[in-house]
Amino acid sequence: MALSVCLFTNFDMVLRDVYPLTPWKGERLRVKPPKEVAAGLRGVTESFKIGLAESGLIGTIRTMRTVNDFSGFDCPGCAWPDPDGHRSGFEFCENGAKAFATEATKKRVTRSFFEKNSVEDLSRKSDIWLDKQGRLTEPMILREGEIHYQPISWADAFREINSQIESAEPHECALYTSGRASNEAAFLWASLARRIGTNNLPDCSNMCHESSGYGLSRAIGIGKGTVRLSCFEKADLVIVMGQNPGTNHPRMLSALVECKRNGGSVVSINPLEETGMKRFKHPQELIRLLGKGTQIADDHFSVNIGGDAALLKGVCKRLIETDSIDSEYIDRETVGYESFRDSLVDVDWSEIEVQSGISRTEIEGLADSIAKARNMIVCWAMGVTQHKNSVAVVQEIVNLLLLGGHFGRPGAGACPVRGHSNVQGDRTVGINHHVSQEYVERLHCATGIDSPIQPGLDSVETVKAMCNGDIKMFMALGGNFLSAMSDTHKVAEGLARCDLTVQISTKLNRSHLVTGKSALILPCLGRTEIDVQKAGAQFVSVENSMGVVHSSRGVLRPASKSLRSEVSIICGIAQEAFPEDKLGWGNLVEDYSRIRSLIEQVIPGFEDYEERVIKKEGFYLPNSVRDATSWDTASGKAEFNVHQLPDLNSSKGNFTMMTVRSHDQYNTTIYGMDDRYRGIYGARRIVMMNSADMKDMSLKEGSMVTIVSHWDDGIREAVDWKVVAIEIPRGNVSTYFPEANSLIPLGSTADGSNTPTSKSVRVSIVKQDRIITEV
């Protein structure tokens, strides 16, 4: 089926009189040369600028001083850890500063705002505009047939939810989680789903690092990274693959600088040479801000989108051919080496070169550097996890690390760099559409809840079920499901088929505008804010990318008196629905240590949670590979996995498109229109192309094109994209997320992990003087 799309209008599709996409009229594209140096003084001034505009001078200084300080809150920007053992104040970066400044904004969305603006009015506004209206202040309801949200009391909101829980079957409910939720909130949310009787727990991880967890757990027995932050000082070589740390994990650049200062090398593998990987000036080291900055990447490989599997195979082939492997380690710790070695013999160098876009000589050069490294770390993020063969690529990374025995010793290992600041913790404490028998039993013992054992729905499956009319109630603990998911129009169609959609949120976003028959907005405290309950001011806990659990305590006055904490909202919903539970949902909210006590009983590794989490440095969760080199796999050893190279020629379209973040956004929250590091200003509906490809198609910078994606069920097309020339291998293009999400077919997902293929979509780019209707 082809989607009905009205071409050359400002909106792609009208649905229930609501526009699911962000409108894009009025963008003014300007292009400058990309930046050579990341952070530096400009980074510092940018952090203050956004803070001043949103939260004023006092607020800015207060929040910046307390972010990641032991007595303050965990930076909501990303999951990169603080320096081991010494959480110090002021470990901030430009983008972390933006994340908390927009939360600490002085602007408010009140009931009169909703009186003035109908849902349709709001749908015509841009994502930036929606976010800039400020913090949500009181619970609101959009009743069936109404066009305005109206105020509702907390008690009535909980009653509305309860009547849905009562009328729907358990499997008709889905509870989404975005990765900012604390351990305490996430544990309760997962428990509530299971109390309702479902494992339908789609979460942002399904769109993010699911491929890492899936691939790693089957290969090495743990779905998390195996390094500590201190490993970066000891590594001889750090490979950064499919990641843009300068924008998305700026504090990681300090770790890369440490590696370099100690004589190590850094290699970048990416279709784009991102600014953060060129030079970096540490914003905390004022004296260095004036210098030239530290060069980060010693070598850069402009791989084709989706070409990493081929590149890694080439590297492993060379390492084996030159006998640059740790045979003793391989014999002792692994299984499957022989099949892996034999499979590489059949892989043709010409195929490796074509798929990766890197010459044999260069690949062999990289392999020779790897051979020399005693300790190697491979870091990766979305450039690895969001392809059809992502699980295979993660396992090729493991194969490479295993060849040199790079597990279980300081300075070496696998480092999937997580996104949302507590996405890893949420998984640890039970946000998962799969459950183990052990979890079910422990949950029952601690809480009396009888969890179903059969798997629930992930994010993609939830949208499919919604579109089939199989989900009646969708509740979201944070996030922006509509805009974050692939195939925006399908998600909109699915949400609209629900009876009730509920969003627990801090700020307004497009998921509040495309709703079920009725909808609730439940406004919550953000991480920066003081959370007072019966037993006094509460803290919550979070887990960073390296498995350290620590506390986070808000310092700012709440944006409104009517806000409730996430924990309080979940307990409110559960108490209304299940007042008879011996667990006493209503009591848990009084003192969060009661929730931590439950987590301790249910989740292994949280022994003495309360005592350990209040320590300044927090505590490391056990990690079988890092701590003991023990392999919790089917074979009891680390496993080499053999994967065929993907068939990249089978699909239609003349380009492979990836969707990336600009320097001025946090996922679906758009702070501004500029992507400073890449030199793109004033516009987001742009497509970055190789200048030779542009020339072939007679396109100039700023030319308008239509993008068409191809899938079994038909095409998706989106109009009015402006072309920008960038250094990217030919045949590859890049657009921004979330604008391009309407082009990613719902069915296009990674094998095994079911993650939308946000980084590889086959598309045709069509100069905009032709109308495409069907291909």
CA pair distance 176, 189, nearest whole angstrom: 9
- What is the closest distance, in whole angstroms, from the C-beta atom of residue 739 to ligand MGD in the complex? 9
- What is the closest distance, in whole angstroms, from the C-beta atom of residue 242 to ligand MGD in the complex? 3
Helix 488-497 and helix 459-467: axis angle, to 10°? 60
CA pair distance 405, 374, nearest whole angstrom: 9
Report if residue 672 touches ligand MGD, rule: CB under 6 A. Answer: no
Given 472, 564, 661, 678, the residue binding ligand MGD (CB under 6 A)? 661
Stretch that binds ligand MGD, among 254-262, 579-587, 667-675, 701-709 (CB under 6 A): 667-675
Q: Which does 183 bind (CB under 5 to 8 A by kind): ligand MGD, Mo ion, none?
A: none
Q: Which does 526 bind (CB under 5 to 8 A by kind): ligand MGD, Mo ion, none?
A: ligand MGD
- What is the closest distance, in whole angstroms, from the C-beta atom of residue 304 to ligand MGD in the complex? 7
Binding-site size for ligand MGD (CB under 6 A) equals 61
Is the CB of 192 or the CB of 241 nearer to ligand MGD? 241
Stretch that binds ligand MGD, among 10-18, 112-120, 163-171, 269-277 (CB under 6 A): 269-277
- What is the closest distance, in whole angstroms, from the C-beta atom of residue 665 to ligand MGD in the complex? 5
Q: Which does 666 bind (CB under 5 to 8 A by kind): Mo ion, ligand MGD, none?
A: ligand MGD
Question: CB under 8 Å to 286, separation ≥6 — which residues?
Answer: none
Q: Of 380-409, which residues contact ligand MGD (CB under 6 A)?
A: 381-383
Is the CB of 128 or the CB of 347 nearer to ligand MGD? 128
User: Is-contact 631 469, C-beta < 8 A?
Assistant: no
CA pair distance 440, 312, nearest whole angstrom: 39
Pairing of strands 135-136, 140-142: unpaired
Given 247, 390, 422, 451, the residue binding ligand MGD (CB under 6 A)? 247
Report if residue 568 touches ligand MGD, rule: CB under 6 A. Answer: no
Report if residue 255 touches ligand MGD, rule: CB under 6 A. Answer: no
Q: Which does 459 bind (CB under 5 to 8 A by kind): ligand MGD, Mo ion, none?
A: none
Given 340, 666, 677, 721, the residue binding ligand MGD (CB under 6 A)? 666
Q: Of 40-99, which residues contact ligand MGD (CB under 6 A)?
A: 77-78, 95
CA pair distance 28, 30, nearest whole angstrom: 7
- What is the closest distance, in whole angstroms, from the C-beta atom of residue 94 to ligand MGD in the complex? 8
Q: Which does 490 bind (CB under 5 to 8 A by kind): Mo ion, ligand MGD, none?
A: none
Report if residue 208 touches Mo ion, rule: CB under 5 A. Answer: yes
Strand partners, 714: 711
Is the CB of 77 or the CB of 134 nearer to Mo ion? 77
Helix 210-220 and helix 390-403: axis angle, to 10°? 40
Stretch that binds ligand MGD, among 43-51, 329-337, 589-597, 659-667 (CB under 6 A): 659-667
Is the CB of 308 or the CB of 333 nearer to ligand MGD? 308
DSSP state of 611: H
Is the CB of 382 or the CB of 525 nearer to Mo ion? 382
Report if residue 741 touches ligand MGD, rule: CB under 6 A. Answer: yes
Report if residue 419 touches Mo ion, rule: CB under 5 A. Answer: yes
Q: Residue 565: is it exposed, middle or buried by C-beta count within 10 angstroms (0-12/13-18/19+)?
A: buried
Is the CB of 420 or the CB of 553 nearer to Mo ion? 420
Report if residue 553 touches ligand MGD, rule: CB under 6 A. Answer: no
Stretch that binds ligand MGD, among 2-10, 265-273, 284-292, 326-334 (CB under 6 A): 265-273
User: Shortest CA distance to 694 belongs to which of 742, 662, 654?
Assistant: 654
The SS3 of residue 756 is strand
629-633, Cβ contacts within 8 angstroms, sequence gap of 24 or more: 629/333, 629/407, 629/408, 630/221, 631/220, 631/221, 631/333, 632/221, 632/222, 633/218, 633/219, 633/220, 633/221
Stretch that binds ligand MGD, among 62-70, 213-221, 282-290, 657-665 (CB under 6 A): 657-665
Q: What is the 3-state secondary structure (H, E, C) of 429-459?
A: CCCCCCCCHHHHHHHHHHHCCCCCCCCCCCH
Report if residue 660 touches ligand MGD, rule: CB under 6 A. Answer: yes
Two structure tokens written together for 496: 């609209």
Given 208, 344, 440, 492, the residue binding ligand MGD (CB under 6 A)? 208
Report if residue 245 touches Mo ion, rule: CB under 5 A. Answer: no
Binding-site size for Mo ion (CB under 5 A) equals 2
CA pair distance 106, 401, nearest whole angstrom: 48
User: Is-contact 657 707, C-beta < 8 A?
Assistant: yes
* Contact string 481-510 vs Mo ion (x = CB under 5 A): ------------------------------
- What is the closest distance, in whole angstroms, from the C-beta atom of residue 102 to ligand MGD in the complex? 9
**Helices within 334-420 (DSSP H only):** 337-345, 349-356, 360-372, 382-385, 390-403
Report if residue 204 touches ligand MGD, rule: CB under 6 A. Answer: yes
Residue nearest to Mo ion (CB): 419
Report if residue 180 touches ligand MGD, rule: CB under 6 A. Answer: yes
Q: What's the Cα-to-Cα distance from 134 to each of 12, 105, 466, 581, rounded to whole Å? A: 27, 6, 30, 37
- What is the closest distance, in whole angstroms, from the C-beta atom of residue 277 to ligand MGD in the complex? 9
In the chain the first and final C-alpha atoms are separated, in Å, by 11
Q: Which does 496 bind (CB under 5 to 8 A by kind): Mo ion, ligand MGD, none?
A: none
The SS3 of residue 379 is strand
Is the CB of 208 or the CB of 573 nearer to ligand MGD? 208
Stretch that binds Mo ion, among 205-213, 321-329, 545-553, 745-753 (CB under 5 A): 205-213
587-590, Cβ contacts within 8 angstroms, sequence gap of 24 or more: 588/188, 589/533, 589/534, 589/565, 590/533, 590/534, 590/535
CA pair distance 634, 639, nearest whole angstrom: 9
Given 109, 140, 207, 231, the residue binding ligand MGD (CB under 6 A)? 207
For residues 68-102, b (16+ Cβ closer than 10 Å) or e, as one string? bbbebbbbbbbbbbbbeeebeeebbbbbbbbbbbb
CA pair distance 551, 68, nearest whole angstrom: 10
Q: From the CB of residue 661, how many other CB atoms can be counted at a distance below 10 Å?
A: 18
Is the CB of 198 or the CB of 732 nearer to ligand MGD? 732
CA pair distance 764, 400, nearest whole angstrom: 34
Given 669, 749, 764, 768, the residue binding ligand MGD (CB under 6 A)? 669
User: Is-contact 738 668, C-beta < 8 A?
Assistant: yes
User: Is-contact 311 301, C-beta < 8 A?
Assistant: yes
The SS3 of residue 266 is strand
Q: Which does 759 bind (CB under 5 to 8 A by kind): ligand MGD, Mo ion, none?
A: ligand MGD
- What is the closest distance, in whole angstroms, from the C-beta atom of residue 287 to ligand MGD in the complex? 26
Q: Of 473-532, which residues contact ligand MGD (CB under 6 A)?
A: 477-481, 484, 504-507, 509, 524, 526-527
* Contact string 324-353 vs ligand MGD (x = CB under 6 A): ------------------------------
User: Is-contact 483 127, C-beta < 8 A?
Assistant: yes
- What is the closest distance, in whole angstroms, from the C-beta atom of residue 507 to Mo ion in the complex? 18
User: Is-contact 160 500, C-beta < 8 A?
Assistant: yes
Query: What amino acid is encoded at 727 in this protein?
Result: E
Residues lying near Mo ion in the complex (CB under 5 A): 208, 419
Residues lying near ligand MGD in the complex (CB under 6 A): 77-78, 95, 178-180, 204, 207-208, 241-244, 247-249, 269-272, 274, 303, 305-306, 308, 381-383, 419-420, 477-481, 484, 504-507, 509, 524, 526-527, 566, 658-661, 665-669, 737-738, 740-741, 744, 758-759
